[in-house]
Every structure is written in C-alpha cells, then in structure tokens.
C-alpha cells in the first residue's frame, strides 16, 4: 500500500490478509469445495487467558509477589515507593487500560504528613471512584499502622474507618487493618 493510500484511508488497511483480527481461513472440504470460516483472534486469546488481578500501591506492598498468590488467576503487584494518591492516578492508567478483573489499591501512606485524615480519605475515595469501571471490581486496602511513627496511628485508624464506610456505600471490597 502506498503512502498516499494510507493517508487517504486514515491509516487503516482494509486488506483482510494484513489484519489477523479479520483473517478468513479458507479450507477445502472432502468434496473439494472451499468454505470460509472467520477466526477471531481476540476471542481465542481471551478464552485462553487467566482472569487478571492487579494490586497497586506504595512501598508498603513492595514485598508482595503477585505470581505466588494464585494458580487460577494471574496476579500483578506493582509498588511505587514514595507515591502519593495523586501519583497513583497516573501510575494506574496503563494497568486499567488492560481491564483487569479486580483492582486492589493500597495508597495514602505517603499523604499522611501534613494532611488531615478527612482529606486523605476523601482523596482515596475520589481516586477510587475515578478508577472504577463496569468491568473491574475495586477493593481498597486500609493504610497499614506504622511502627516508625506511632503518632500517625490515630490518624490511620480514622482514615481506615472512613474508608470502610466509603467501601460499604460504593459496593467496594475493603481490607480490614487492625492496630
């Protein structure tokens, strides 16, 4: 196909043989007649793939080895050390484009300093609402209590209570973190 043809067709190639998604398989039957059957590559791939779960969070989840969590489902765990709630909005985009079956968010640890409990919980809920979709079930992991800065634990307890309430109200799953 010439460059001008590509430009005129807005970059789309209508040749069946160049697009495996619309490829037609022609086979001769016993009587020599040619029959066509359409092969949808995407459906074949989807049928063979395991359901996919994604765990995204700050450094508190850095030691989670997703591939060890399930034999029936593919689990991907990604830690973004130092990430804030606002950062996770960007970091989660490539994963959500793949439409995972389940998404677990563990965020807020790095937002504790200098922000009120209400503000941190509100930002987590706002991000969660922006990331929910009809194809992905959402779960929020409560903030893990700290041993390095126990002064934050009262705030963490309050945030986790607010998150539990938001999960109930929005139909999300919520992990229960106890002190």
pLDDT tens-digit map of 78-92: 999 999 999 999 999
pLDDT exceeds 90 at position 172? yes
Q: Return d(Cα 93, Cα 63) in angstroms, integer.
A: 22
- 9 belongs to a structural domain: no
Mean pLDDT of 18-44: 44
Contact in structure between 51 and 99 (CB atoms under 8 Å): no
- 157 belongs to a structural domain: yes
State percent of the chain over pLDDT 90. Answer: 41
Element (H, E) at 155: helix 153-170
State percent of the chain over pLDDT 70. Answer: 70
> What domain range includes position 87?
52-175
- 35 belongs to a structural domain: no
Q: Return d(Cα 64, Cα 56) in angstroms, integer.
A: 10
Q: What is the count of structural domains for the chain? A: 1
- 2 belongs to a structural domain: no
pLDDT recorded at residue 158: 94
User: Any idea what the CATH number is for the domain that residue 95 is in?
Assistant: 3.40.50.1110
- 154 belongs to a structural domain: yes
- 12 belongs to a structural domain: no
pLDDT tens-digit map of 114-125: 889 999 999 999
pLDDT recorded at residue 66: 84
pLDDT band at 35 (very low <50, low <70, confident <90, very high): very low
pLDDT exceeds 90 at position 67? no
- 84 belongs to a structural domain: yes
- 116 belongs to a structural domain: yes
pLDDT tens-digit map of 92-151: 999 989 899 999 999 999 998 888 999 999 999 999 998 888 889 999 999 998 888 888
């Amino acid at each position: 196909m010439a460059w001008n043809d590509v430009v005129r067709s807005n970059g789309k190639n209508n040749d069946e043989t160049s697009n495996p998604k619309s490829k037609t398989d022609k086979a001769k039957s016993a009587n020599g007649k040619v029959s066509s059957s359409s092969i949808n590559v995407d459906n074949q791939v989807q049928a063979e793939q395991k359901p996919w779960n994604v765990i995204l969070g700050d450094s508190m989840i850095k030691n989670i080895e997703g591939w060890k969590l399930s034999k029936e489902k593919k689990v991907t765990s990604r830690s973004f050390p130092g990430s804030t709630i606002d950062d996770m909005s960007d970091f989660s985009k490539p994963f959500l484009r793949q439409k995972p079956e389940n998404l677990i968010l563990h965020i807020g640890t790095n937002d504790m300093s200098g922000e009120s409990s209400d503000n941190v919980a509100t930002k987590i809920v706002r991000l969660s609402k922006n990331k929910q979709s009809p194809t992905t079930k959402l779960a929020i992991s409560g903030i893990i209590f700290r041993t390095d800065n126990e002064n934050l634990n009262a705030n963490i307890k309050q945030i986790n209570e607010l998150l539990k309430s938001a999960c109930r109200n929005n139909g999300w799953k919520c992990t229960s973190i106890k002190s």
